């Protein structure tokens, strides 16, 4: 186990050390003390290690994560796990805006709430939020699953492509081209797989929101939506 105190040593050293690890490293667990809201902590990891951040983090923590398992024992700033490729990122507290933005794979679990634009532009990532998500969540979401145990703010799934949005609580309003639909077998299987991966039980009352696909082609009749 490696130990790194950001109160004593600069972030550059931590990220450089993490980037230098070979894929088959034995140095597979890192404890990081005093993250103190610093930006870009543990971003760009590409090896299957676990990183435990003991406190709050700033912007873009675990950005572009590939294969690593990063836990934030506190709140996360803007863009946590942005463009994540694979692996897992867990936020024990709340997450700011744009959590999981344009993520392409892996699993992001937010145990608290997520602010606006959670899952914006997501491209294959799975995001589980145990609390609620803010407005404009899943804006232009392309692929992947967003699972919200609490409520969703305004304009959920605006201009949605093929991502699935599962929400248990209330939805303040739906964005353009986002509609509630009935769950098919595929949807149920996808939800079960995500919850299973996140280690959570399905309370059984999620509702599914998806794209009506009416904006997929330019049409005069859609003028209001452009």
Q: Which residues bind other proteins (CB under 8 A)?
A: 11-12, 15-16, 19, 39-40, 43-44, 46, 58-60, 63-64, 66, 78-79, 82-83, 85, 97-98, 101-102, 104, 117, 120-121, 123-124, 139-140, 142-143, 161-162, 216-218, 220, 223
CB of 166 to other proteins, least distance (A): 19
What separation, in Å, do the N-terminal and C-terminal C-alpha atoms of the chain show? 53
Cβ contact 93:56 at 8 Å: yes
Burial label, 184 (beta-carbon count in 10 A; 0-12, 13-18, 19+)? exposed
Which of 54, 104 has the CB closer to other proteins?
104
Which of 109, 176 has the CB closer to other proteins?
176
Which of 122, 198 has the CB closer to other proteins?
122
CB of 123 to other proteins, least distance (A): 4
CB of 143 to other proteins, least distance (A): 5
Tokens 């140095």 — which residue? 27
Which of 148, 177 has the CB closer to other proteins?
177
CB of 221 to other proteins, least distance (A): 9
CA distance linking residue 103 with residue 115, whole number of Å: 16
| Phi, psi values for residue 89, rounded to 5° | -130, 130
User: Is beta strand 178-181 parallel, antiparallel or unpaired with respect to 207-211?
Assistant: antiparallel
Q: How many of the other CB atoms lie within 10 Å of CB of 102?
A: 20
145: which strand partners? 126, 164
Which of 102, 132 has the CB closer to other proteins?
102
CB of 98 to other proteins, least distance (A): 4
């Amino acid at each position: 186990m490696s130990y790194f105190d950001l109160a004593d040593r600069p972030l550059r050293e931590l990220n450089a050390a993490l980037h230098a690890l070979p894929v088959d490293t034995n140095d597979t667990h890192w404890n990081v003390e005093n993250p103190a809201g610093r930006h870009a902590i543990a971003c760009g990891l590409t090896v299957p290690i676990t990183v435990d951040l003991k406190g709050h983090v700033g912007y873009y923590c675990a950005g572009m994560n590939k294969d690593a398992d990063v836990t934030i024992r506190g709140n996360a700033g803007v863009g946590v796990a942005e463009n994540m490729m694979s692996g897992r990122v867990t936020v024990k507290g709340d997450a700011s805006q744009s959590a999981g933005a344009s993520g392409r794979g892996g699993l992001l679990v937010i145990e608290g709430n997520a602010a606006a634009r959670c899952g914006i532009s997501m491209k294959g990532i799975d995001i589980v939020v145990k609390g609620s998500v803010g407005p404009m969540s899943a804006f232009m979401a392309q692929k992947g699953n967003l699972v919200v145990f609490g409520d969703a703010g305004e304009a959920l799934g605006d201009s949605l492509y093929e991502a699935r949005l599962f929400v248990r609580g209330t939805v303040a309003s739906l964005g353009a081209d986002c509609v509630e639909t009935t769950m098919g077998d595929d949807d149920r299987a996808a939800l079960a797989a995500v919850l299973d991966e996140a280690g959570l039980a399905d309370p059984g009352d999620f509702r599914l929101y998806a794209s009506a696909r009416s904006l997929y082609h330019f049409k005069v009749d859609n003028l209001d939506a452009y």
